[in-house]
Amino acid sequence: MFNSNINNIYILISTAASVGIIHTILGPDHYLPFISLSISEKWSLRKTVLVTILSGLGHTLMSVLIGSAGFFIGASVQSIESIDAVRGDIAAWLLISFGFLYLIWGLKKSFTGTVHLHSHVHPDGTIHSHNHHHNETIHKHVHIKNKNKISPWVLFIFFVLGPCEALIPLIAYPAIHHNYTAVIIISLVFSLATISIMLLLVFLGYKGIQKLPFQKYEKYSHAIAGLIIFLAGLGIIMGL
C-alpha cells in the first residue's frame, strides 16, 4: 500500500509538469497580454519578465490556497471547480473590459497626431527611446516618460482571479489523504512548468516582434494591444 501511494505521487508529479506545460501553451491568455503590453507600453525585458513571473505565481498560488482550503473543510472537487469557474468568469470579463477600454484609448491616441520613434544613446550607455509628435500647429521635441502603472496591476489581478482548473484535480488525491507535502511538491512542479513556459513564450514574442518592421504601425500599438487582450478575454468566455 505504501509503495502504491508513492507511485501514485510520482505519477501526479509527472502529470503536473506535463499539464502545466500543455495548458499554458494552449491558453494564449497566459502570454499574449504580456507580449502585447510589453510592446505597446515599451517595457524593458526585465520588467516584462518580472510582471510575467509575479502574475504566474499569483495565478497558481491562489488556486492552491482555494483548493487546499476547500479540501480541508471537506468540499468536493466539483464544488471547488465551481468556485474556480466563477473566478474564471470574473477574470475573463476583467480582461475583456480592460482590453476594450485600452483599444478605445489606443485608437484615440493613434489619431491625435503622427508619431514616430527616436532613440538616443546616453553617456552611461543606456539606450533611450521616445515618441516624437508632429502636428500642423506645434513642432516641438519632448521626452515622454511612460507613467502608465495600471496595466501591470491589471494583468496581475487578472491572473490572481484567473482559475487554474488543471491544478485542482492534481492536488485532490494527496489533499484528501492529508499528504500536504505532496500537495506542496505537486503545486511547485505545476507552477514551475507553467511559469517557465509563460516566460519562454513571452520572451520569444517580445524578441520576435522587435525584429519585425513594426515602425510604421507603431502609433497603432496601443490599439492592437487592446484588441489582442480583448480577444483573449473573449476566447476564455467562449471556451476557446
Domain coverage including residue 91: 2-237
Confidence band for 21, pLDDT divided at 50, 70 and 90:
very high
- Beta strand extents in the chain (DSSP E only): 114-121, 127-134
The conformation of residue 132, written as its DSSP 8-state character, comes to: E
Quote the crossing angle between the two packed helices 32-40 and 45-72, to the nearest 10°. Answer: 150
- pLDDT of residue 204 exceeding 80, the answer is yes
What global pTM score does this model have? 0.76
Quote the crossing angle between the two packed helices 167-176 and 180-210, to the nearest 10°. Answer: 160
Alpha helices in 45-166 (DSSP H): 45-72, 77-110, 150-161
Sign of CA dihedral 73, 180, 57, 205: negative
- pLDDT of residue 89 exceeding 80, the answer is yes
User: Phi and psi dihedrals of 79, rounded to 5?
Assistant: -65, -45
Q: In this structure, which amino acid lies at residue 169? A: P
Quote the crossing angle between the two packed helices 167-176 and 45-72, to the nearest 10°. Answer: 40
Tell me the β-bridge partners of 157.
Answer: none
User: Phi and psi dihedrals of 124, rounded to 5?
Assistant: -85, 5
The answer to whether 84 and 163 are in contact (CB under 8 A) is yes
Mean of per-residue pLDDT scores for the chain: 79
Please tell me the total count of domains within the chain. Answer: 1
**If you search the block for the grid coordinates 506542496, which residue do you land on?**
184
* pLDDT at 126 (0 to 100): 46
The vertex-32 CA angle with 26 and 38, nearest 5°, equals 155
Q: Cα-atom radius of gyration of the chain, to the nearest Å?
A: 21
* pLDDT at 239 (0 to 100): 66
pLDDT in tens, 34-75: 999 998 888 999 999 999 999 999 988 888 888 888 887 777
pLDDT in tens, 185-202: 999 999 999 999 999 999
Confidence band for 138, pLDDT divided at 50, 70 and 90:
very low
* pLDDT at 173 (0 to 100): 82
Instruction: Report the alpha-carbon distance of residue 19 to residue 148 in Å, rounded.
Output: 35
User: Phi and psi dihedrals of 155, rounded to 5?
Assistant: -65, -45
